[in-house]
Every structure is written in structure tokens, then in C-alpha cells.
């Protein structure tokens, strides 16, 4: 564990608390999570400020939101194998809590706070920021950050005076708890028809819009 996190704790009890969910009783990681959330936001904000010297406040804010949201933190927690080390109550263990994004993201923030309390601000930043490097490298240009595919497609078409896309639900299948939606995205000018699939109509539309953008770039 220490080698994956990149920090050897002088006070191992801090790490133990950081990995203890409230369902397992006190002391749990909620207070550490609160502190870690603030630290992660600061570290990421500072890194973006340095990386994008010409980006405005809006772009920086959207980029930070992309990097610190639950769905971005959970994969980092998985890469550090935090799930296998979580202490959960019986109910959370049975329901697979060690795999849940919300619990993993909270644990990651708690671990950040534990490192900070164990060794201070600079050490914490040096340990934590490499976890975010890949995600930061994968960010789109500042002016595109935070805009989903449907928004970017609409802006592309509006900027050229073209008709807006039409989305149509083609198929809805599966059980109520695990439905799959298939949607088409049709552009009139130029004529482009793409398809997307997802676990909600909205997510399927986003996939179809992304495919439409790729098709436009290829023209």
C-alpha cells in the first residue's frame, strides 16, 4: 500500500482512519474527507493556474471541476487499490461498497488529508499531484473544457449558420434496472447521421453527438 500511494506514514493510524467508512463506526473518514477535498481543490487549481497561463477564470474553474469530480477521483482510488483496503460495515460490504465511486472518491480525499496531517503541505502536494498528471494531460484545450459533446456540436453548427441537430430514440432495451438506449443524431447541412448507445437517453445522445463532431472534422 505505501508504495502505491507513494508515502510512508509516520502515523499509520491516520491512514487506517482515512480508509474507514462511517458504516464501520468511529473513528471514520468523513472529517478527513472534508479536509482532503479542500486540499485536492487547491493542488489542482494551482497546477492548472501554472499549466494554462492564458486561460480565463471560467476555463480554469471548469477544468478543476472535471479533475476533482467523483467520477475522476474514483479511478485514481482504484489505481491505488484503495478499495481492497477499505474498512466497511457489513451492509456496505454485502452491497459492494468497495467498488462504489462515491465511497472510493471520498476515501481518496481522506487519504490526501491523512498525508497532509502526517507530513505537511509540501510533502502532501508532492505525493498527490502525480496521481492527477494523466488526467491533466488528457484535458482538451482550455476553451473546450467542461463543454459536453452536444453543446460543442450545437456551437459548431450555430457558428456556421447551420440547422441544429435532430436526436431520435431508435431503440430502448433491457430490464428496468439496466436499460440500454440507442439514439441517432442527424445533421441537415452537411448531411451526417451518427448513432450512439448508452445507459440513458442523454448519455446515448452525447455519444452520437461526439461521433457527429468526429465526422465533421473528417470532412
CATH of the domain at 185: 3.30.160.20
Q: Is residue 212 part of a domain?
A: yes
Mean pLDDT over the full length of the chain: 92
172 as an active site residue: the answer is: no
The Cα angle at residue 195 between residues 191 and 201, in degrees rounded to 5: 125
| Residues pairing with 172 in the sheet | 181
In this structure, the answer to whether residues 73 and 170 fall within a common structural domain is no
Q: Do residues 65 and 44 lie in contact, with contact meaning Cβ atoms separated by under 8 Å?
A: no
Mean pLDDT of 45-50: 96
H-helix or E-strand spanning residue 181 = strand 180-188
Q: How many CA atoms lie within 13 A of 141 on its CB side?
A: 4
In this structure, the answer to whether residues 132 and 155 fall within a common structural domain is no
User: What percentage of the chain carries pLDDT values higher than 90?
Assistant: 72
Known binding residues for Mg(2+) are: 33, 106, 109
In this structure, the answer to whether residues 123 and 82 fall within a common structural domain is yes
**CA dihedral of 81, 86, 91, 93, whole degrees rounded to 10:** 40
- Domain final position from 108, 139, 170: 139
In this structure, the answer to whether residues 86 and 106 fall within a common structural domain is yes
What does the pLDDT read at residue 146?
67
Q: Are strands 191-198 and 180-188 parallel, antiparallel or unpaired?
A: antiparallel
In this structure, the answer to whether residues 126 and 165 fall within a common structural domain is no
Catalytic residue among 66, 92, 109, 118: 109
User: What percentage of the chain carries pLDDT values higher than 70?
Assistant: 99
For 123-149, the pLDDT digits (tens) are 999 999 999 999 999 888 887 776 788
Mean pLDDT of 64-71: 90
CATH of the domain at 107: 1.10.1520.10
Q: Kindly tell me if the per-residue pLDDT of 156 is higher than 70.
A: yes
- Domain final position from 139, 157, 174: 139
- Domain final position from 80, 108, 139: 139
Of 150, 131, 118, which is closest to residue 82 (Cα–Cα)? 131
Rounded CA-CA distance 65/45 in Å is 10
96 sits in the region (left: phi over 0; alpha: psi -120 to 50; else beta) called left
Catalytic residue among 37, 66, 205, 210: 37
Q: Is residue 144 part of a domain?
A: no
Known binding residues are: 33, 106, 109
pTM of the full structure: 0.69
What does the pLDDT read at residue 178?
77
Domain boundaries, position 103: 2-139
37 as an active site residue: the answer is: yes
Amino acid at each position: 500500500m505505501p508504495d502505491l500511494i507513494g508515502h510512508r506514514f509516520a502515523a499509520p493510524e491516520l491512514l487506517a482512519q482515512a480508509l474507514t467508512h462511517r458504516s464501520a463506526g468511529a473513528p471514520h473518514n468523513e472529517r478527513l474527507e472534508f479536509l482532503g477535498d479542500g486540499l485536492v481543490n487547491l493542488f489542482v487549481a494551482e497546477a492548472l493556474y501554472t499549466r494554462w497561463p492564458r486561460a480565463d477564470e471560467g476555463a480554469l474553474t471548469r477544468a478543476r471541476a472535471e479533475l476533482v469530480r467523483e467520477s475522476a477521483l474514483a479511478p485514481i482510488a482504484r489505481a491505488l487499490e484503495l478499495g481492497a483496503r477499505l474498512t466497511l460495515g457489513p451492509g456496505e460490504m454485502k452491497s459492494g461498497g468497495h467498488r462504489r465511486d462515491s465511497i472510493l472518491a471520498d476515501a481518496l480525499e481522506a487519504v490526501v488529508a491523512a498525508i497532509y496531517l502526517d507530513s505537511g503541505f509540501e510533502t502532501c502536494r508532492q505525493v498527490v499531484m502525480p496521481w492527477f498528471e494523466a488526467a491533466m494531460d488528457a484535458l482538451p484545450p482550455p476553451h473546450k473544457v467542461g463543454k459536453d459533446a452536444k453543446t460543442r456540436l450545437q456551437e459548431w453548427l450555430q457558428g456556421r449558420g447551420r440547422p441544429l441537430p435532430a436526436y431520435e430514440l431508435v431503440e430502448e432495451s433491457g430490464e428496468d434496472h439496466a436499460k440500454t438506449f440507442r439514439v441517432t443524431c442527424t445533421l441537415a447541412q452537411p448531411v451526417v447521421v451518427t448513432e450512439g448507445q448508452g445507459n440513458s437517453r442523454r448519455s446515448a445522445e452525447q455519444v452520437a453527438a461526439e461521433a457527429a463532431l468526429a465526422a465533421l472534422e473528417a470532412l
